[in-house]
Each structure stands twice: as structure tokens, then as C-alpha cells.
Amino acid sequence: MRRISRLSRLAVLGSATVLLLTGCLGSSGDGSGDQDSNRNADAKKVELTIGSNSVKGGKSSAGATFTEDVLIPKFVEAQKAKGVDVTVKFQGDGSDDEVYKQKLALSLSNKAGPDLFSLDGIWVGEFAQAGYIKPLTDTVGDAAKVNDWNGWKQIPESVQQLGSFDGKRYGVPGGTDGRVLFFNKKLFQQAGLPADWQPKSWDEITSAAQALKKLPGVTPVQINAGTAMGEATSMQGVLPLLVGTGATINSDGKWLGNTPQLRQVLDFYKTIYGSGLGDPVLQREAKGRDKSFAEFAANKIGILLESDYFWRSVVEPKEGVAKMADRDTAVGYALIPASKPGAGVKGQDFVSMSGGGATAINPNTKFPQQAWELLQFMNSAEMVKASLNGAAKITQRTDVNTEVLAGDPMLNFVATKVLPITQFRPGLAEYPKISAALQQATADVVGGKSTDAAAKSYQAAVEAAAGKDKVSSS
Amino acid sequence: MTTAPAPVPGRPARVRGPAQDVAGLGVARAVGFLAPALLLIGAFLVFPAIWTIYIGITNYRLTGVEAVSPSIVGLANYTKALNDALFHNALWLTVLFVLGSAIVGQNILGFALAWTMRRARPAVRRTVEGLVLLAWILPSTVVAYLWIAFFDRDTGTLNSILGTQGTAWLIDYPMVCLIVFNTWRGTAFSMMLYSSALQAVPPSQLESARMVGASGWQTLRDVVFPHIRGHVLTNTLLISLWTANDFSPFLLTKGGPNHESETVPVYIYNVALQGGELGYSSAISFLLLIANLLVALLYLRLLRRRS
Amino acid sequence: MTPAFVVRRIGFYVLICAITLFFAVPMLWIASAPFDKSPGLGVHWPDWTLDNVRKTLDHPYAMHSMVNSLLICVTTAVAVTAFAALASYALSRVRIPGRDALLYGLLLLSSVVTGTAAMVPIFVMMFQLGLIDSRFGVALVMTGGLLPAAIFILKDFVDAVPKSYEESARVFGASTLQILRDVVLPVARPGLATILVWAFVNSWGNFLVPFLLIRSIDKQPGAVLLQTFTDEGGSANLSVIPVFSLLFSIPVVVLYLLVNSRYGFRFHGGIKS
Amino acid sequence: MAGIDIEGLATVYPNGVRAVDGLDLTVADGEFFALLGPSGCGKTTLLRTIAGLESATEGSVRIDSTDVTRLEPGKRGVAMVFQDYALFPHMNVSENITYPLKVRRVAAATRASVAEKTGDELSLQGLLERRPGQLSGGQQQRVALARAIASEGKVLLLDEPLSNLDARLRLEARTFLKKLQKDLGITTVFVTHDQAEALALADRIAVMQSGKLRQLGSPREVFARPANTFVANFIGSTPMNLLPGTVASDGVSIAGGSLPAATGSVPSGAEVTVGVRPEYLTLSTGDVSGPAVRGSVVVAENLGTQSLVTVDCDGTLIGVTVPEEDEPSPGTPVVLTASEQRVLLYDKESGELLARQPAVV
């Protein structure tokens, strides 16, 4: 057949091209370290770009509005006073985090991209390993200059993890959050449960759920599961539960495998979704999380494990996506208990998980010194406070938090009670795959598979993702 | 394909194939005409494709250590795919998707529309064809919203019509939903193609079939089908390829729940973006290309048997 | 009229009604939700309001993105049509060795590249060419991706143009270019129009390519913007999405109607072996 | 005006088929010339080679004494009407007619007057603004002719000019075409597979088979004295009787009887193929003197004014036409006779005409 032979000729041509291409991959990373970090330090005309996954009138509109309308003009003004003519551009995107990450990584791997950019805390490790970001001290060149920034003192050690990898600071963390159990006080009252509910073990959650189950049309408890919600399942589900068993997803360089703790978590899922305490369908829908918000607001869900974002932006009475006019009186919140008192990670009684982002400097920026100045300016108390625009939100800075959260008991609760006990996800390249495996395991269990079978497939998936020797088990 | 019919001894065949340069273009100018298209295709299609194939034999990732120094892993990605239950699942779902929505759904509905609309009143014909085409030309993001709303569990149109409030169609029957969706989305092409194909069927033959009392089905099989066989094959090939590579299932279900609607393109997307494994996703892309190639060869075989 | 005939007629109309409903019902959302006071995912008789329209028009990038979409997609559609026309004519009329293998090969390749896996090569290449953040660059990439199928489809049209037209013009002394301009081009116009619409529609909905290749939000087309109307928690901004969806659909529909009324919109098929 | 001279012309297709195979032909100035043959005989290829749409592999074509073998079609001074007329669907009649002038950059005003004038000549008044799709088949043909005439070629080429018309229209168009050609006096070559059309229209006919010329002559010659059994078979609305026979001293013996024939140099006792047209046989019911063939009527078919009677003569079926009123009923014993000049002898092997005798024209 003539066609086949033609194709094989094409294949030969192709493999020749491959040899040419071999040089095209992996050429990033090298060489960028030995640039002079004081390049253009004295430039009078400076151009900087800030990249972020937020856009006016769309995703994270407020962040984009602040950057464009407040931060940039203020910084330009401040620099003008010093005789430097700075132009700062905002490069906003508005997409799924994974797509934004891909776009950012593509730019960075070509030694391009914005001079400052925001990234999720869990990407820091992967980006650092890929050489897309460098420790701030390297990029800025002067260790003292970085370490002496007075802002660090205001950022709690635990929060600083967000911008760190291997004990080095790669960026300045932005705001953070914390996870708690939200509950509907109205339903609790109907079920005869206390308004100041604070479970001390998982059993107390189930017993409260049993009580709620008697109410018609009410889903007693909703803890995210399944693959449809992606990372939401990990953050608002498996991981907070897992730390409640005393395990962390990565310890001593090894990923958590099929351990008793994991099986304990899966069993808990089984208890909830197997006995009608949770709505298993909700967990499988692509828009399931939005649905759970709406149902909570409509008094159809009793207990929901969520981050403080839920309080600020979802059931918020004025602007929320699922407004609850009586939020302040109707929505209660409690710390997430360990499976049993004292069984949590580090022997804690209560646990939580936190996430958040950081802002890093592009190692290939033309103006590393000015970028560092902008980064400091961005994270100054004045700017952090301004970025809130009157809203209450947990920021990276303690000084700002004490000031702005005073009026919001819930966020204050998170800042003071949750942040000290919280955990962060490891910023390692394999994490997304491990997280996906965890999501898959919960999907399996909720879908009817036995705990053991789900845990076994989880073990296999983790081994495939990280390598056999990097997984702890039993 | 271009092999000219062998000359029949004693009776010279009149060779006037499609490849006859009647306007006197000449090979040089013909190459000139082809050049811009080939240049663009070469730069933005062939070159990236070859590059993708190359990435497929590495463990390249966009982030992490492998981003800096990817290593050639040979066929490891391919052996991995062969043992990857999720890939098998995706492959199977893609076959279902193509079979259900393209080969059966779009083909049959498209033909049925073309067949019935031949004799329908112009106003009816225009309305129906207009609607079918509208489904085809609306942007996919918009269409995704339409169908999410249609299937919605609580307020969805489908549940309102059927009185089945609370049925989560996209969760309980994801593949059925996708097949129905894609049939809706893509039927227009088949309809248009068959409409023009049916004009090639001599009315006299249809009438003689009616005269001898052939049933509708017999007429289709014995009179219509032989005339449009080439069209059926072309259409089936094109819509099969398009469906197999269609990404819109992602917009509806994101591959869920629990991979139940994760066709190969969606799987590739998830592997590349969620998992960041570009090497592996490139390898799967290449496997998809091979599968496409096999389908195309099968089609050519069938087409050749026609003559 | 026999009873059987009546039954068949009734069956025929029931079938047509069913098909019409099947195609029409999912579209109701875009007709009702944009004008509803509290647009949701369901379809119901709207509580009429134009607030959503106002909100959408006030959106900082909405109208801008439509202009970008038009720029990108008109360029793409024109380039695809022009280059595919030239190429398909040459392929149809001149014996070029390996022609069919070439066609099929390209058609197949186009499927691998539309996938997400190719974004690294495409990005790196565009970067090296300095075409990042360029609407023109986006149009080029889309053109490359659409060309093979366009040539494949258009070649059918050109094959169907009777060669006697060209021969007759030639006998009367027309030069090659005169033949192309006076005869082939006008005769193939329905095919060209169809490809134009097809290319336009296909590039209009493309999200990933412009998203990756364009940096400035004020250069992003509508398809990208439509993706940004979800907030950080993943909930959709339902006061803007329905209206924008509607606006975003108008150009393709208008283009289709224009082309259809002037030239007819159709596909030939049945590649002759 | 112009004649056409064709010398040793061959057109070979890339696959090696010799569609036109070494042809010599001369078409006189003002002649109406037919290329006749079954499909695939190379007649259309020959026409297209004259037009320049196919390139000659060997030999030469001269038009008006100018060698045009290697010239572009547009430079040969030929006008052509295609089988499907090739009217441009996007141009109206007037634009179609004057397209050849537009190509030559003739001013629009001149073109309009030419369209008007040619349209008048071909009775296209009132149709000039229409599109081809709105015309009947006959009108389309006249537009195609008008366009060819407007191009003022020295030679007019027609490819199957009547085949796309229905039977009734075809006769009308035939008459119209013949008159038009005589009026214009333009050298015209046309291709047809219909022998009746060729006989009716042409001044001379070239009968072709497998790329070769089998006979060249006036319609009468070709009809009355086919040069070989191929032509004999092909020409005539009722097929010529071709029967095995043996040469005798005073004629040929066939089918148990004999017919007179000018045997010329053919030796007595030689086996030949005897050709005699049904129209040239005489049927009688009584006894006759002289050479004759006897048999009985099998079937009679009415042809209008005549009937074709099939007679079984000693196991051989022979066709003969009779005036309709003389139609015998089946079973009637009959006697068939013919005049000597009408009985032709063909070589049994090669099928070529044997006897050399003065042609009766």
C-alpha cells in the first residue's frame, strides 16, 4: 500500500525532527541564576507587570480592581516621589486555576511572564523545582535586604509556609483561610441540638447528623467527596479528616499510603454517605459545590465543612452567591474535631487545613530590585488593609487582622482559633496527583466500593505517581 | 486512491479523472497555490504534532524537576497507557460516544431529516433546518450552558417536561446525556450532506421502486443507499473523527462523575492539566491519532470496495 | 385517501414535531434567562427585566471582547477560506504526487493538535516568533488547525465544478487567472461561503488557544471572557452569563443567515475515489 | 475562411491508452463535418485535440494553414460548444454570449450590441437578462451557439450538440443547426454517436473506432457502401444483414439460395461475409426468376411508413423492409431478391469491403 509506505517515510522524517527537537525541551532553568541581581537597579524608567488569576468583572473581581485602581497608582506615585518613572501593568486572567497555572508555567519556562505573579501555595514547590522561581534572596541578591523586611514579623510562621519551599522563602504569602464546620442553627433548634454546638469527636458529628436526619427534606451533613469537585474534595474533605487521625499527607519525605488512618477516613465517609446522612449525588455533580451552597442557604443542609470563604462570599447577606439574610444569627461554626480528643496531628484535639497564595518575583525580571520594592509595598500594612476595601477577610498580616477582623466574630475566630492549629498542603510536584488519588478513593467509597478496595487502589495510584519507595503504608 | 482504472483491452477507457488541469494552471503555479496553506499547516499543525509525539516519549512536565531536565523514557508512557485502567475506560467511553452519537445518532437523525425534509413544505423545512443548524453553529461554551440548564437536577427543563424532579441526569446517566447532546449538536452536518447527496438519486429510480411495491426500507436499501454510499462513508468518517476528538463533553460533565464520562480528549486534558503529566498526555494523544488513522484506513478500505 | 395514508401523514407530522422540539427545547434557556430578574439554570417564564443586559453592557471587557472575537475570527475565516480555496483548486485540478495521502494525513494530524497536549509546542513556537499577546498570532494558529478539514471539504466543491466551464473559457482565450476570477470563483462561491461560516463558527468558540497565547485581558476574545464569569469559588455569575451568551451567539447566527440567504449553506460529500 | 488539416495525429493518455491513433484528415473550408463512432472511439478526444484541450502526442493540426498543434486553445481561433453547453451559471445570457469578447477586452458598448445582434440571429430576444438556470434546454443550446458565434472563431467545434435535448426538440434543433451552418458558412466539426444525426447534418462523415478512422465519406457513401463490417453495422437505423456466403460464378450463395453480386477479383468458392441492407432487398410472394433466397416470414415490425420483416431462410434470419401496406403475415413463404450493386462482399476475416466496383451514389 502506497499510503503506508508514505506514512513510514513521514515517520522517518519525524524521527529526524525529533533529534532536532531534543534540545528544545528542558532548556529552561539553566543560566538564569547567574544573572546580576542588581541589573537596572538605578534605572529611572521602570516597567513592571503584575500577573494574577483575577479579572475585573469576573473571577476575583475585587482583587483585580484593587491592583489596578489602588495599588498601582499608589506605587507609581510613591516611586515618582523618589524620581523614578514606573509603569506597572496588570495582567489579569480569569480561568480555572489549573489553566492559569499552565499558562504561567509556559511563560516562565520561556523566561518570560509577568515580573510579579500570584500563585497558589501548593505550586511553590513545583515552580521552584522547575526553576521558574528562585528564593527571594537569590533573585534580589542581598539576603539582608530580604530578611530584614519588617513585614515578615507580622506574618505568622505557619502562614509563611505558603510562600516557602525547602525552608526558603520564594514569595510573600497573601491572605489565608481556615476550615470549620458550619451548621444551620435553625435546623439544629428543630432537631433539638445546641446553638453553640462544638463536637469533640467524629462520633459527635454523626450523632448530631442522626438527629438532623429526622427533619424532612434535610441533608444532615455534607463533607465534600468525589472527583467532580477536584481540590475542593481534598481541602474540604479528606485532608481535614486525615489530620484528625493524626496523619499528614506527606511526612518525612514519604507520601501517605494505605494506612489505618486513611482507612479510618474512608470509613467515616462510608458512615456518612452509606447511611443517608449525606447526599451522595451532590458529590458527583460538576457544579455540586455550588449546589451545596445553595442548599445550605435554603436551610436544606445541616452541617457543612467549608472554609471561611463560605461565610464571607457565599452566605454573606448582601453580595454572597447564596445570600442568607439572617447569616449572623442562623449560621453557626465549630472547630473540626479530631477523630477522638487528642488523636489529631501533633496530638491536637481540633484540626484544620488552610490554603492561600503567595506573590513571587520572576527570576528573569528586568528590574529585580524594583520588583522587590513593589512586593514589599503590596504587602505593607497600608496596602493589605486597602485591598480589603472594607470587607473582612483573613490577611497574612497579624497587625491588619487584629484591626479589621474585630468586627467579624467568625473571621476573628478563624484568625485566632483556627490558624494556630491549621495545616498546609505540601507544595510538591506530586501533590496534585496524590490529591487526585485521595479524591478518587472517596469517590470509590461513596460510589459503593469497600473501604479496603478503595484504599488498595489508592495505594497503587500513589505508588505510580510518586514511586514505590516514597510511599508509607500500613 | 489515484490509481487510474486499468485500460480495458480493445476498448480504450476514457480517462478524464478529477485531476485534470483544465484551466492550464501548471504544476509550478499549483505548488504556489498550495504553498500558503501548506506553510501554515506545516508550522502550526505538523511541527507541533511531531513535537508532541516527541514529548510523548519523555517524562516532561510543565512544573517540578522534570520541567528542567526531562528524560527520554522511550515507550514507557505507552506501556503505561496499555495498563492504565482509566485510559481503557476513556477509550471505551470514546467508542461508545462515537458509536452512539456519531455513527448512529447524527447519521440516522441527519439522514432521516434530509429524507423527510425533501418533501416537506418549504416553511416547515426552513424552520426545522434552521433549528438544526442553529444547534450546530452556536458557540460550544454557550451550548454547554444550554444543556447544563436542560439537564439540571432541580430546575432543569427535562425534569419539568418529564415530571421527574430531582433526577440528576448528568450524574446518573452521563454517557446517555453526552450522546443525546452530541447528536443534537452535530446532526446538522449529516443532514446537509445527505440533503445534497439525495439530490443525486434519480427520481425515476425511486418511482420504479414504488411501482414494484418496495417498502420504504427496501427503497432505501436498494435504490437510495447505492447512490449515496460514498456520502455515507465520507460523512461517517468526518463525524466519527470530529466526535472522537470532541472536547465539549468536558464542558458538560468534566469527565465525571468518577470518570464515567471521561472520553479520551477529556482524559488527555485532565492528565495534562490536573495531573501536569505532559509526556503521558502527549503519548495518549498520539494513541488517539493512531486510532483515528485506523478508522480512516478502514473507511478507505470500504470506499475502495465500492468500486 | 386511505386510512393507512392518513396514519402515515399523522405519523410524519408527529415525527417532525418531535424532532423540532428536540432541537428547540434546549435553546429556550438562552431566550428566557437573559431577561429574567433572577436567572438560574432552569427555564421558566421570565420575570422580565433588562437589568442583566445593562449589567453586561457595563462590564469592563464584555463589549471589548466581542470586538476582539470579531477581529480574530474574521481574520481566521478569511485566511482559511482564501488559502483553502487556492489549495483545494490546485489539488483538485493538478496531479500532484501523493495528493490523497497528504490530505488524509493532514486531516488526521489536525486531530492530535487540537488536543491539549500540543499547547507546549504551540506556545513555545509562538513565543519564539514573537507572536505572544497578538490577536493575529491567535488567528494564525487557528487557521493552521482548521485548514486541513477546510481543504478536505472544499475540494469536494471544486471537484463538483464542471470542468467544461473552465474549458469553455479557455477555448475562448481566457488566461488562467481570468478563468479563476471569472468562472471558478463565482461558481464555487456557495462552497467558499460555507467554509467561511464553518471556519468562523469554529474559531468563534475556541477558548484554549487565545487564552494561552494572549496576555492582556483587553485583547481576549469573548470565548475566554465567558470562562471568566465564574468567581474563585467556581460559582457562575448568572446575571451576566445568559446575556453575554446571547450576545456572543448573535454574530454567528447573523453571519449564517447572511450567507445562507445569499449563497445557500450546504455541503457536498462523497469523496470520489 | 478556414479548413482543418490533420496529419498523423495521435493523442496518448498518461495510462498509455491511444485515444487518437495516427489520424489523417482534412476538413474543407465551410464544410459541416461529423465525427461519428461509438462511445470511447476517440472522437471527442479528437475534437478536444483540435480545440487544444488535449495535447497531441504525435502529428500536427493546422487550421487555416497555420500549425496550431502547440498553441493554447484560446489562440487557435476555434469556438466550441460543449455537450453540457458549459454556460456560466452566475452570468446572464448576454454576459455569457459576450464572455469571449470580454476576455479580449472589447468595450462594453460593443459587447452589448454584439449580444443584441447574435441574440437576434439565434432567436434569443427577450432572454438576454435571464440566467441559464431559467432557460429551457433548447434555449440553452442556442445561447451556447450564440456564444461560440460571438467569439468569431474560424472553426466551430460542437461536442454532441443535440444529445442533451429531448427527442422532439432534437429534430427541430437539427434543422436549425443545419440552416445556421449553411447561413454562416463556418467550417464546423461536430461529434456524435448518433448515426442518423450525422447522416442528416454532415456534408462528410468520419467514422471512427478505437482511435482510428474506419471510413471517410459523404453520408450517402457511408450509408450505401460501408467500407467494412464495422461501419456497415454502425450506420443505418435498421442493421445491415451480414451473412456468411460463398462466392459463385454469378454471385454469392447464402442461406440456401443466392444473390447476384459483382464479385470482381474474388475467386469463385471463396468464403465471404455478404452485406445487404434490408432497404435494398425486395420481397415477393410469387415466384421470381434469377438468383433469389427463399424463406418464410417470422415476424414483422412496423416502422411507420415501412415494416421490417424478418425472414427465416434455411435457418438464417434476414431482415427486409417493405412498404407498410405490403406487410406479409407470419408464416407466409416469401422470396428475397436484390440488385447486383447493392450486394456487398466483405473479407470474412478482416471485415474489409472486397469487390472493387464503381460506387453507386
Residue ranges covered by each domain of chain C: 64-263
Same domain? D283 vs D165: no
How much of chain A exceeds pLDDT 90, in percent? 39
Domain-embedded: residue D354: no
- Name the residue among D273, D290, D238 with its Cα closest to residue D355: D273
Task: Return the C-alpha torsion angle D227, D233, D235, D236, nearest 10.
Answer: 130
Give the neighbor-by-neighbor strand order of the sheet with A250-251.
A250-251, A254-256, A471-472
Write the DSSP symbol of residue A121.
G
Is residue A406 pLDDT above 70, yes or no?
Answer: yes
A165 half-sphere exposure, CB direction, 13 A CA radius: 26
Contacts of B4 in chain D (CB under 8 A): 14-15
**DSSP letter assigned to residue B104:** I
B39 in any annotated domain: no
Q: Are residues D224 and D242 in the same domain?
A: no
- Residue of D48, D49, D53, D149 for testing the chain C interface, max C β-carbons within 10 Å: D53
**Of the candidates A55, A112, A293, which has its C-beta nearest C127's C-beta?**
A112
Q: Which of B142, B152, B151, B160 is nearest to B248 (CA)?
A: B142
pLDDT of residue B6: 34
Of B7, B10, B12, the CB nearest to D42: B12
Residue D88: inside a domain, yes or no? yes
| Poorest-pLDDT segment among A189-198, A299-308, B54-63, D24-33 | B54-63
DSSP assignment of chain C, as one string? Answer: --HHHHHHHHHHHHHHHHHHHHHHGGGHHHHHGGGBSS--SS-----B-SHHHHHHHHSTTHHHHHHHHHHHHHHHHHHHHHHHHHHHHHHHHS--TTHHHHHHHHHHHHHHHSSGGGHHHHHHHHHHTT-TT-HHHHHHHHHHHHHHHHHHHHHHHHHHS-HHHHHHHHHTT--HHHHIIIIIHHHTHHHHHHHHHHHHHHHHT--HHHHHH---GGG--HHHHHHHSB-TTS-B-TTTHHHHHHHHHHHHHHHHHHHHHHH----------
- A280: preceding bond cis by omega (within 30 degrees): no
Point out the residues of chain C with pLDDT beneath 70: 1, 38, 40-44, 109-117, 230-237, 264-273
Grid coordinates given for C112 = 492530535
Q: Minimal CA–CA distance to C168: which of D149, D68, B23?
A: B23
Residue B237 grid coordinates: 468518517
Q: Distance between CA atoms of D141 and D81, rounded to whole angstroms?
A: 8
Residues constituting chain C = 273
pLDDT mean over A49-76: 86
Query: What are the cell numbers at A284?
Result: 458527583
Residue B185: inside a domain, yes or no?
yes
The strand pairing partners of A303, in sequence order, are: A183, A221
pLDDT at residue C113, as a whole number: 55
- Asked if the model's pLDDT at residue A285 lies above 80, the reply is no
Indicate the DSSP class of residue A391.
-
pLDDT of A73 reads: 92
What CA–CA distance (Å, rounded) separates D227 from C12?
Answer: 64
Between positions 212 and 231 of C, the ones with CB within 8 A of A are 212, 215-217, 224-225, 227-231
Query: CA D75: distance to chain centroid?
Result: 28
Structural contact between residues D283 and D322, judged by C-beta atoms closer than 8 angstroms: yes
Residue D357 lies in a domain: no
Q: What is the mean pLDDT of residues D49-69?
A: 86
- Ramachandran quadrant class, D315 (left: phi over 0; alpha: psi -120 to 50; beta: rest): left
pLDDT, mean of residues D258-286: 82
CATH number of C64-263: 1.10.3720.10
Contacts of B88 (CB under 8 A, 6+ apart): none
CA distances from B227 to B117, B190, B195, B200, D200 (A): 18, 16, 13, 7, 38
> Is there a domain that residue D320 lies in?
yes
Are D285 and D342 in a shared domain? yes
- The reply to whether residue C169 touches residue D103, judged by beta carbons under 8 angstroms, is yes
Q: Does the structure show a pLDDT above 60 at A34?
A: no
| CATH number, domain with residue B193 | 1.10.3720.10
**Half-sphere exposure of residue D127: CA atoms within 13 angstroms, side-chain side:** 25
Report the alpha-carbon distance of residue D191 to residue D198 in Å, rounded.
Answer: 8
Q: Say how far residue A348 (Cα) sits from the centre of its chain.
A: 22
Domain boundary among D230, D258, D288: D230
Q: What per-residue confidence (pLDDT) applies to A474?
A: 61
3-state percent breakdown (helix, strand, coil) of chain D, nearest 5: 30, 35, 40
Whether C226 and chain B come into contact, CB under 8 Å, resolves to: yes
Looking at CA atoms only, how far is residue C67 from chain B in angstroms? 16
Question: Residue C168 and residue D82: Cβ atoms within 8 Å?
Answer: yes
CB neighbours (10 Å) of residue A299?
A: 16
- CATH code for the domain of D315: 2.40.50.140
> Distance between CA atoms of A344 and A336, rounded to whole angstroms?
10
What is the Cα D85 distance to its own chain's centre? 20
Q: What is the pLDDT of residues A67-77, one digit of tens each?
A: 889 989 999 99
Residue D361: inside a domain, yes or no? no
pLDDT above 60 for D112 = yes
Higher pLDDT, D154 or A17: D154
The pLDDT of residue D44 is 87
Q: Do A58 and C101 touch (CB under 8 A)?
A: no
Whether the pLDDT of residue D153 is over 90: the answer is no
Query: For an interface test with D, which of B3, B8, B15 has the most D Cβ atoms less than 10 Å from its Cβ?
Result: B15
Share of chain A above pLDDT 70, in %: 92
How many domains are contained in chain B? Answer: 1
Q: What is the DSSP string of B137-181?
A: HS-HHHHHHHHHHHH-TTT-HHHHHHT-TT--HHHHSHHHHHHHH
Mean pLDDT of chain A: 85
pLDDT for D229 beyond 90: no
- D221 lies in some domain: yes
State the count of interchain CB pairs (< 8 A) between B and D: 30
* CATH code: domain of residue D147: 3.40.50.300
Q: At what angle do helices C135-160 and C99-113 cross, to 10 degrees?
A: 140
Same domain, D197 and D280: no
- In this prediction, residue C227 carries a pLDDT of 76
Look up the domain containing D136 and give its range.
4-230
Distance of alpha carbon A376 from alpha carbon A370, whole angstroms:
10
Q: Give the largest CA-CA distance in chain B.
A: 76
pLDDT of the residue at B238: 82
SS3 A67: helix
Verify that D123 and D268 share a domain, yes or no.
Answer: no
Domain identity same for D59 and D88:
yes
Domain for residue B258, yes or no? yes
Q: Which pLDDT value is given to residue A11?
A: 45
Tens of pLDDT, residue by residue over A69-112, are 998 999 999 989 988 899 999 988 877 777 888 889 888 988 88
Q: Which of A452, A85, A136, A434 lies closest to A267 in space, CA to CA?
A: A452
Domain count, chain D: 2
Tally of CB atoms within 10 A around A326? 11
- Please tell me the predicted confidence (pLDDT) of residue C41: 67
The single-letter code of the amino acid at D89 is: P
Whole-angstrom distance, CA of residue D199 vs CA of residue D220 = 8
The structural domains of chain A, ordered by start, are 39-169+356-424 (3.40.190.10), 179-353+428-472 (3.40.190.10)
B216: in domain: yes
Helices (H), D104-249: 108-121, 137-150, 167-184, 195-201, 219-224, 229-234
Distance CA B105, CA B190 (A): 10
Chains A and D touch (3+ CB pairs under 8 A): no
D29 and D159 fall within a common domain: yes
Q: Any CB–CB contact under 8 A between C15 and chain B?
A: yes
pLDDT along chain B (307 residues), means of 10: 34 39 76 88 84 85 79 86 88 94 92 86 86 88 85 80 79 90 92 84 80 80 83 85 85 80 88 80 85 81 70
Residues D43 and D168 in one domain: yes
Is residue C113 a contact partner of residue C146, using CB atoms and an 8 Å limit?
no
**A178 within 8 A of A361, measured Cβ to Cβ:** no
pLDDT for D171-224, tens place per residue? Answer: 888 888 888 888 888 899 989 888 888 888 889 999 988 888 888 888 888 888
The last residue of a domain, from among D207, D230, D253: D230
Please report the pLDDT score of residue A26 as a whole number. Answer: 45
Q: What is the mean pLDDT of chain D?
A: 84
Give the span between the Cα atoms of A167 and A172, in whole angstroms: 14
Q: The domain containing residue B169 runs over which residues?
A: 78-306
Helix (H, G, I), strand (E, B) or coil at D318: strand
Cα D86 to chain centroid, rounded: 23
Q: What are phi and psi of A30, to 5 degrees?
A: -80, 145
- The model's pLDDT over C102-117, given as tens digits with 9 standing for 90+, comes to 777 777 766 555 556 6
Residue in chain C closest to D158 (alpha carbons) equals: C168
Give strand pairing partners of A183. Answer: A303, A332
Contacts of residues D108-113 at CB distance under 8 Å and 24 or more positions apart, as own/partner, are none
Report the 10 Å Cβ neighbour count for B155: 14
SS3 of D250, please?
coil
Is residue B67 domain-resident? no
The complex's ipTM? 0.75
